[in-house]
Structure 1
Amino acid sequence: MKRHMRTVHAARKDFKCPECGKAFGQAGTMKTHMRTVHAARKDFKCPECGKAFGEAGNMKRHMRTVHAARKDFKCPECGKAFGQASHMKTHMRTVHAENAPN
C-alpha cells in the first residue's frame, strides 16, 4: 500500500509521456503507458469500426464495451432486436400482449 501511494499518488511525477504529456511516478509505468496507448504497431483492428489497438485485450475490451453484443432475436411485430430469446419474449409479452408467445 505504501509503495502504491508513493508511486501512483506521489507528489512528484518526473516521467512525462513524450506523446501526450501524462506524468508518471515511475519510468516503467510510463513505458507501459507508451506501449499500450501510443504503440507504434497497432496490429489489432476492430472488425466493426476499424479502430486499431496495440494489444488484443484492448481491442476485445473495445468490442465488448463500445459495440453492442449480437442481437439475433428480432420481434416479429416491431423488429426490435434482442441478444437473448427470453428478452424478446418478455418484450412481446409486455409490449405486444395479444400476440405474445407462451
Structure 2
Amino acid sequence: QLGEQQPTWTCHICNRVLSTRGILHRHIRIHQGAYSVFCHICHKGFMDRTLLNGHLANKHQSAEKGFNCKYCGKKYGYNSHLTQHIKSKHLL
C-alpha cells in the first residue's frame, strides 16, 4: 500500500538500518570479514577479485565504459560531453 511504512532490519553491530533481511545478512558478513574486495559502484562485497570482475561485467558494464545517452545510446567518456550532446542533438 502506498504510504505504508516498509519493514526494516537493523544491524546489531553498527545499528545500520537495511531494507531486507537478505541485505542485512550480507551486511553482517562484512563485519565478520567474509569479503575481501568490494564493488566501487554499488559497494557489494565479494570473496575474491574474480567474483568482483564477473559482477562488474554483468551488472555495471555500461557504467564501466562511460556515459550513455538515454535517448540514442551514444557513448561518451565524460559526463560533460554527454550533457553537451543531449543539449545539442536532443534539444533538452
Q: TM-score surpassing 0.5?
A: no
- In the superposition, the TM-score normalised over structure 2's length comes to 0.37
- In the superposition, the TM-score normalised over structure 1's length comes to 0.33
